[in-house]
Amino acid sequence: MKRVIFLLLLVMGIHYPSESQVLKKKIPDKLVVLTFDDAPVTHYTYVAPLLKEYGFGATFYVCEFPPNYADTTKYMSWKQMQALGKMGFEVANHTHTHAPVGNLSQEEIIRQLTYIEDKCDSLEIGKPVTFAYPGYSLSPLVLETLQEKGYLFARAGGSRAYNPETDHPYLIPSWATNEKNTTQIMEALRQATNGQVVVLTIHGVPDYEHPWVTTLPEQFKAYLQYLKDNHYKVISLKELQEYIDIKNALKKIKPDYKKKLNN
């Protein structure tokens, strides 16, 4: 009887979920993830209100970037980061001090992660469940530690689309925006098709402390308008769990460090 039902489901195009299946459901075309790094103040003053206006989701990867993290003309305060969480955005882990985690011991990695976790917990933001590698520094030890601590996803670089069936959940590639690569980013957005997800890494809009990674406000708004006009779905990184079976992906997909993982 079970075999008959199974064959009927196949004919109807419906499948039993497999224990080794990575996808919970098909990745739709035009799925984009926006991620924002380093906690520059413009994420609160400009980016977040504009995202709300467009109805888009996003992930903000926060840290206390030395030496000027306490300068609120350049960086968000923790109260402002808390406000992002209250606005419905994902606030996630970028380490305490923007540390090159690929060069650290496990004890140091845990210390860097735990600081942000405890800060978020104390402000009732919610425990971070995704991570972004500062400076795209990573190692097998970092991946092992993230898994031990129960993280869902981690974002790297690589300037390529994310294929959930072949890219490890802790090695999600992304493109990084800057004021000079508009053409590259527009071409990237068009790659959100055939099961691929496009993930963008965005720093300050503008970035007062690190102008070489700045994205201009008018440039950023043009990206959002394009996404809206062309009916893209724009989400946070943790929302990918709607489509991806994390447990199976971690078991089935081996980390491939030969792929490009930095921007």
73-123 pLDDT, tens digit per residue, is: 999 999 999 999 999 999 999 999 999 999 999 999 999 999 999 999 999
Q: Is 262 a domain residue?
A: no
Q: Is 100 a domain residue?
A: yes
pLDDT-derived band of residue 227, with 50, 70 and 90 as boundaries? very high
pLDDT exceeds 90 at position 14: no
pLDDT-derived band of residue 5, with 50, 70 and 90 as boundaries? very low
Q: Is 164 a domain residue?
A: yes
Chain-wide mean pLDDT for the chain? 94
Rounded CA-CA distance 53/74 in Å is: 23
pLDDT tens for each residue of 123-175? 999 999 999 999 999 999 999 999 999 999 999 999 999 999 999 999 999 99
pLDDT of res. 1 = 47
pLDDT of res. 12 = 46
Q: How many domains does the chain have?
A: 1
pLDDT-derived band of residue 19, with 50, 70 and 90 as boundaries? very low
Handedness of CA 21, 22, 24, 26 (dihedral sign): negative
Rounded CA-CA distance 103/137 in Å is: 8
**Percent of the chain at pLDDT above 70?**
92
Q: Is 92 a domain residue?
A: yes
pLDDT-derived band of residue 20, with 50, 70 and 90 as boundaries? low
pLDDT exceeds 70 at position 16: no
- pTM for the whole thing? 0.92
Rounded CA-CA distance 125/107 in Å is: 25
CATH of the domain at 73: 3.20.20.370
Q: Is 142 a domain residue?
A: yes
Q: Is 15 a domain residue?
A: no
pLDDT of res. 161 = 99
Q: What is the dihedral of CA 57, 196, 39, 42, to 10 degrees?
A: -60
pLDDT of res. 136 = 98
**Percent of the chain at pLDDT above 90?**
92
Q: Is 162 a domain residue?
A: yes
What is the mean predicted confidence (pLDDT) over 19-28?
88
What is the mean predicted confidence (pLDDT) over 217-244?
99
Domain that residue 226 falls in: 28-252
Q: Is 11 a domain residue?
A: no
Cis peptide before 40 (omega within 30 of 0): no
Is residue 42 within 8 Å of 220, Cβ to Cβ?
A: no
Burial of 35: CB neighbours in 10 Å, binned 0-12, 13-18, 19+: buried
pLDDT exceeds 80 at position 226: yes
* H or E stretch at 107: helix 106-122
pLDDT exceeds 80 at position 61: yes
Nearest to 198 by CA among 215, 217, 174: 174
What is the mean predicted confidence (pLDDT) over 170-194?
99
pLDDT of res. 68 = 97
